[in-house]
Structures are given as structure tokens and as C-alpha cells.
Amino acid sequence: MAAKKKAANRYYNGPPSDHFDGALFFNPGGQMPARFIDLLKWQFAGQRSKWPTTSPSPFAPAKPARIVQGSGLTVTMVGHSSLLIQTAGLNILTDPVWSQRVSPVSFIGPRRINLPGIAFDDLPPIDLVLVSHNHYDHLDLATLRRLKADHDPLLITALGNDAIIGGAIPGMRVAARDWGETIGIGNDVCVHVEPAHHWSARGAGDRRMALWAGFVVETPGGKVYFAGDTGFHDGINYRLLAKKHGGFRFAILPIGAYEPRWFMAPQHQNPQEAVQGMLLSNSAFAAGCHWGTFQLTDEPVAEPAEKLGQALDAEGIARERFRPMLPGEVWEVPEMTAP
């Protein structure tokens, strides 16, 4: 009997690799996303904490300067995994989401419980956008359309996501790269696309058809690591990046959406694992993201920040080095010092 033909990939057509089988992407040596029956088991378990309908940030919405020159590094939290990175005269957004919901439709799905930490009209000119993968809380087409219209930035993402973005936003400048590839930006800045342990889907029929990734932004003032969305994966990717890049001035690491662990561990690390990731990647400073804005999982809204502080204390790391950033919070990251 002939072998069953693999389903066609609607987003990407390329040769097999250590993380692409010719049809679908996968985590080498890692875990597949959970089955639909496991999703139902979780959803009907009734363990989800009740979040407030609103949770205003203690920080007023920021109004960033247009540019930060030279080796200065300023980071502003917008919310969830959306941050503004300013360095070397460039303004860079990570996984930008200004929408009220992260869902295929605008009237149902996880709803924002705090305002974006920067009003969209107060953004400085955006040069570069990093999109880690295609889940709705990271790839928000409505926001990308606004960025295209008002800023026309270059968008860097992983393989296959360019088909989604380009099909929805004609003319957007999109560069899609595989893990291990690099693209020059200018101002002595380049972006490395690096592995993450996750998965992708926009609907029921496109699971793992587009790649997921983290990014390393190499600048004159040091390297910045944005992990995207990731499970801890025994620290494998953190060790790999430390060996390749030598360490980081600053890392943006997810700390939320981790409960229940039996379901979420392969795709979302918890705060204790994020601290281990900071150590393994040799990051001098870190910001915790992916928490406190959209309720995606079971843990209480403030628990990621609390558990992050406990994990830092247990390792003897000053809490100031790894902040669970809140919308509107601005951090002028210290420069690297010689050991």
C-alpha cells in the first residue's frame, strides 16, 4: 500500500530540515502540542482563576522619545509580549498587539484588562517589528495594518508567517527567515532568528504550518534577546544561545500563561523556569512578559510576578535585574560592565 501523502502546507514550501519534515514544523527532540481531547479536559476542569475585568497599570501610558542614540537601551512595556525597544537610533516593537481582544473575531475571546502602555498615536517612528509566531496574542493583523499605514516598518518573522501577513496586508515589508539565519538592519544592527520551543496555528487546519522563533538583536550597545513564546525544554535553547552569542545585555522572557503544568509546560515556561533561562542564557538583565494583560490560562493575574520574585530570591539574584514589567513601565537598561 502506498504511503499516505502528507497534507500540503499552505504557508511554506521548502526542503526538510532538523525542524521541518517537508510539510510541518516541529521541535527537535521536543514535544508536540497537546491533543484536542487534552484541550477539552483542561477547559472542563474548572480550575481557572477569576481575573478582574480591569486591572489598571500603576504606570501612566508612556510617551517615548523619538530615538535613543548610541549604546543607550530603553525598553517600554506595552502589554503582554508587546514591548518597545529603543537603541542605536532604532525603534523596535516585539509582537505588537493594540487590539482589545486576541481572537479570530473581535467580539469574543481573551480581552485586554489594561490599556496599552503606549497609546498607538504616541509611538515614535517604528523602524522594525519582530513577530515570533502566528498565535493571535502575538500576530495581530489589525495592529500590523495600522503600523504599515502609519510607519511602514520592516517586519521580521519566521518561515511561513510572511504568507499570512503578506496575504492580509499587501505591500508590508516582510522578511521571513529560518532558525539560525541573520538579517542586517543598518546602524550596525543585525537580527538573528533563533529557536524556541512552541507551535503555531491560526485555526483548526493549519497547525505547525508556520515556524515559531525567538530573536537576538545585535547592537553596538550589546545583544538583546526576545525569546518569543516558549516552553523551557530542559534549557536546551538557552544553552545553545549562550554558547552562540556569549550572553546578553537584556532578555525579554515569558513568565505567564503556565497553568496547568500538565498541559502548558511544553509551550509556556513558568517564572521559576524563566529565572533558570536568564541564568543559562547569561543575561545581565531581563524583563518578564506574557502576563497580566490577557487571561489565557488558569493562574491568578498577579501570580507570575509573585513567583518570579520568589524564584529570584531563591537564586540570590537581585529583583531589580529581572522585572515583571507592567504597561507603561519604562526601563533604561544599564550598560554592560566588564566582569
Structure confidence by residue, pLDDT tens digits, 71-118: 999 999 999 999 999 999 999 999 999 999 999 988 889 999 999 999
- Asked whether residue 28 is assigned to any structural domain, the reply reads no
DSSP assignment of 233-285 equals GGGHHHHHHHHHH--EEEEEEE-----SHHHHTTT---HHHHHHHHHHTTEEE
Structure confidence by residue, pLDDT tens digits, 201-249: 999 899 999 999 999 999 999 999 999 999 999 999 999 999 999 999 9
**Parallel/antiparallel/unpaired status of strands 222-226 and 248-254:** parallel
- Asked whether residue 246 is assigned to any structural domain, the reply reads yes
- Asked whether residue 211 is assigned to any structural domain, the reply reads yes
With cut-offs at 50, 70 and 90, classify the pLDDT of residue 121.
very high
- Asked whether residue 21 is assigned to any structural domain, the reply reads no
- Asked whether residue 5 is assigned to any structural domain, the reply reads no
For the chain, helix, strand, coil in percent to 5 are 20, 25, 55
Hey, CA dihedral for 140, 299, 331, 328, is it positive or negative?
positive
- pLDDT value at residue 43: 77
CA 70 to chain centre: 25
- Asked whether residue 8 is assigned to any structural domain, the reply reads no
With cut-offs at 50, 70 and 90, classify the pLDDT of residue 7.
low
CATH code: domain of residue 81 = 3.60.15.10
Distance CA 257, CA 270 (A): 8
- Asked whether residue 20 is assigned to any structural domain, the reply reads no
Q: Please give the backbone phi and psi of residue 330, each rounded to the nearest 5 degrees, phi first.
A: -115, 135
Distance CA 156, CA 161 (A): 9
- Asked whether residue 6 is assigned to any structural domain, the reply reads no
CA nearest to 112, candidates 96, 92, 97:
97
CB within 8 A of 119, min separation 6: which ones? 61
**Parallel/antiparallel/unpaired status of strands 73-79 and 330-332:** antiparallel
CA nearest to 155, candidates 127, 136, 178, 133:
127
Label residues 303-318 b or e (16+ Cβ within 10 Å = b).
Answer: bbbebbbebbeeeeee
Find the domain containing 255 and state its range: 36-332
- pLDDT value at residue 242: 98
284 neighbors 320 (Cβ within 8 angstroms): no
- pLDDT value at residue 339: 44
- Considering its fold, how many domains does the chain have in total? 1
**Parallel/antiparallel/unpaired status of strands 73-79 and 128-131:** unpaired
